[in-house]
């Protein structure tokens, strides 16, 4: 048993000139830095005992074999920054954004480290530091300030995509300049997008789909911004399933983006503003449950309490909201079983949504639902709960790593000999479609959202 007293170590001098040590305390700059570093949850960082149990579950560690690409390594770097042994620089930013945020490490972590929250904070520190230095990327600002918070703009984006698709021309998107507002990689992912619902179809949606039988519950449907634009039909299918199972399904007015993409990208205040709008909207609707069908959104909705840790006024409202949030899979297995009339006769495999499995602990429910469909044979992959590489906008921001992860995933998929990959989150669905194309399996294999699969068998 040896004891190492931290000050004996030569860490700081080795970090060299990049260490922000030179400034004296009591200056406004030092105070700002203190406030910035104070965002780190030091207790939680210390709770990591660097046992390494997270390493085998981390897709980026599996790809690289490098400690800097592992959860243990990232926590060590966060601790290094929090203790001012390392700088908040471009390298730290790269390290923090190389993480998928899939949270598979949380499932593996015996010490129960809230890694998802740690990585969000680290990115917040990176972004706040850039704001302080006046270094913000135009693209980021464009996406986070001018697109996601505005449902109308997302709708316009969706409509433009629909126009492009209806014309049968991906080129149209480029010609209109639409794709130019987003990085190159989004264009590469764009061919995985399914046919988008027309504006007319969307306008016809009534504000409520009543239960097909004596209503058991009144649920508020959380549409999700991307989900409702790119997968409008999947939302409709989900509503139909819930209505058949005995729910009055309310498409709650004035709901906004869940804020997940903001939170995962260090835009905590933007995320909190969206959360407030959703909490208010669903409070007004007076529903029993807030139901969604996107694992990523659901995990964010369930995280609202944590977003308001330091805001007593909103904390209580957030907690009551969170208590009502359910993934559609969770709720459907609790309701009277659905009656399926059309056997599907297909071999399928299920790709867990990371934020549904690792973030919300919902693993068995979707499998139970899939198995309940007549003629469906569910064959598991060897690592169904390992991330597909989609991870929100990761596949746009870290395209190459994402595709390496996806190619490994497709090998795992092909070993199951399934003809269908079932997912429970829009990002995963797009990514798996991309994977099918990359593996040259178009026409032989299909990726579907679990709600669409269930709907097909009704």
Partner 1 sequence: MLTEDLRQQFISVVGQKWFLDSPNELHAYSYDATPLLQSIPDAVIVPGSVQEVAAVLRMANEHRIPVIARGSGTNLAGGAIPVQGGIVLNMNRFNQIYEIDEKNLTATLGPGVITADLHTAVEAVGLFYPPDPGSMRISTVGGNVAQGAGGMRGLKYGVTKDYVMGLEYVLPTGEVLRSGGKNVKDVAGYDLTRLLVGSEGTLGVITEITVKLLPFPATKRTLVVYCRNLVDAARIVERIIAARIIPATIEFLDQATMKVVDDFAKLGLPLDMASMLLIEQDGVEAQVVQDIEKIADIARQTGAAEVRMAATMEEGAKLLAARRSALSALSRLRPTTILEDATVPRARLAEMVEEIERVARKYNLQICTFGHAGDGNLHPTCMTDERDHEEIERVERAFEEIFHAAIRFGGTITGEHGVGMAKSRYLHLKVGEGAIELMERLKAAFDPNNILNPGKVFAKRDRRRIVVRQS
- What is the contact surface with partner 1 in residues (CB under 8 A)? 1-6, 8-11, 14-16, 18, 43, 46-47, 49-53, 55-56, 65-68, 73, 76-77, 80, 85-87, 91-92, 95, 109-112
- Residue closer to partner 1 by CB (options 67, 288) is 67
How far from the centroid of its chain's Cα atoms is residue 124's Cα?
Answer: 16
3-class secondary-structure state, position 276: helix
- Residue closer to partner 1 by CB (options 68, 198) is 68
Cα–Cα dist 457/283, whole Å = 34
3-class secondary-structure state, position 398: coil
Structure tokens at 374: 């007549």
User: Which of 158, 140, 135, 186 lies closest to 398, judged by CA?
Assistant: 186
- Residue closer to partner 1 by CB (options 65, 207) is 65
- Residue closer to partner 1 by CB (options 15, 156) is 15
Minimal distance in Å, beta carbon 7 to partner 1? Answer: 10
At 454, which helix (H) or strand (E)? helix 450-456
Minimal distance in Å, beta carbon 105 to partner 1? Answer: 12
DSSP string, 113-142: --HHHHHHHHHHHHHHHHHHTT---HHHHH
User: Which of 418, 327, 337, 436 lies closest to 377, judged by CA?
Assistant: 418
3-class secondary-structure state, position 449: strand
- Residue closer to partner 1 by CB (options 48, 102) is 48
- Residue closer to partner 1 by CB (options 6, 134) is 6
Cα–Cα dist 427/421, whole Å = 13
- Residue closer to partner 1 by CB (options 86, 454) is 86
Minimal distance in Å, beta carbon 93 to partner 1? Answer: 10
Minimal distance in Å, beta carbon 106 to partner 1? Answer: 13
Structure tokens at 166: 């209806």
How far from the centroid of its chain's Cα atoms is residue 170's Cα?
Answer: 26
Minimal distance in Å, beta carbon 34 to partner 1? Answer: 18
Provide the greatest CA pair distance for the chain: 73
Minimal distance in Å, beta carbon 151 to partner 1? Answer: 39
Minimal distance in Å, beta carbon 439 to partner 1? Answer: 24
- Residue closer to partner 1 by CB (options 47, 174) is 47
Cα–Cα dist 316/180, whole Å = 42
User: Which of 425, 304, 415 lies closest to 355, judged by CA?
Assistant: 425
Minimal distance in Å, beta carbon 452 to partner 1? Answer: 33
Neighbours of 71 (CB within 10 A): 27
Minimal distance in Å, beta carbon 364 to partner 1? Answer: 15
Instruction: Quote the strand ranges of 10-147, DSSP E.
Output: none
- Residue closer to partner 1 by CB (options 1, 200) is 1
Residue 310, phi-psi category: left (phi > 0), alpha (psi -120 to 50), beta (remainder): alpha
């Amino acid at each position: 048993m040896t004891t190492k007293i931290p000050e004996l170590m030569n860490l700081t001098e080795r970090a060299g000139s990049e260490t922000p040590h030179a400034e004296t305390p009591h200056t406004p700059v030092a105070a700002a830095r203190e406030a910035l570093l104070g965002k780190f949850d030091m207790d939680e960082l210390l709770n990591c005992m660097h046992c390494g149990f997270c390493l085998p579950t981390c897709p980026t560690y599996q790809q690289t074999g490098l400690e800097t690409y592992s959860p243990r390594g990232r926590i060590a770097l966060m601790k290094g920054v929090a203790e001012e042994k390392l700088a908040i620089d471009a390298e730290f930013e790269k390290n923090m954004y190389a993480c998928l945020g899939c949270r598979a490490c949380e499932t593996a972590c015996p010490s129960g480290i809230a890694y998802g929250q740690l990585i969000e904070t680290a990115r917040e520190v990176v972004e706040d530091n850039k704001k302080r230095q006046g270094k913000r990327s135009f693209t980021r600002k464009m996406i986070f300030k001018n697109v996601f918070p505005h449902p109308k703009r997302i709708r316009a984006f969706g409509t433009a995509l629909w126009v492009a698709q209806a014309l049968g021309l991906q080129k149209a998107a480029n010609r209109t300049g639409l794709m130019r507002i987003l990085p190159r990689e989004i264009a590469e992912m764009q061919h995985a997008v399914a046919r988008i619902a027309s504006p007319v179809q969307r306008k016809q949606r009534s504000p409520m789909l009543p239960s097909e039988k004596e209503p058991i519950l009144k649920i508020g449907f959380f549409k999700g911004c991307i989900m409702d634009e790119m997968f409008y039909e999947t939302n409709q299918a989900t509503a139909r399933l819930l209505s058949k199972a005995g729910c009055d399904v309310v498409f709650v007015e004035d709901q906004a983006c869940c804020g997940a993409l903001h939170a995962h990208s260090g835009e905590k205040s933007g995320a909190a503003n969206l959360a407030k709008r959703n909490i208010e909207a669903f409070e007004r609707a007076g529903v029993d449950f807030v139901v969604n069908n996107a694992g990523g959104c659901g995990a964010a909705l369930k995280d609202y309490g944590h977003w308001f840790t330091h805001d007593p006024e909103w904390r209580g409202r957030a907690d009551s909201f969170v208590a009502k949030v359910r993934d559609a899979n969770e709720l459907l297995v609790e309701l009277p079983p659905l009656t399926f009339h059309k056997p599907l006769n297909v071999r399928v495999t299920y790709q867990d949504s990371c934020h549904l499995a690792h973030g919300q602990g919902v693993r068995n429910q979707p499998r139970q639902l899939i198995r309940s469909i007549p003629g469906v044979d569910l064959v598991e992959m060897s690592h169904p709960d390992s991330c597909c590489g989609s991870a929100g906008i990761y596949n746009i921001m870290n395209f190459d790593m994402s595709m390496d992860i996806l190619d490994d995933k497709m090998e795992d998929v092909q070993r199951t000999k399934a003809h269908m990959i079932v997912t429970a989150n829009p990002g995963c669905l797009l990514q798996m479609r991309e994977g099918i194309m990359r593996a040259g399996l178009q026409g032989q294999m299909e990726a579907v959202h679990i709600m669409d699969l269930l709907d097909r068998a009704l």
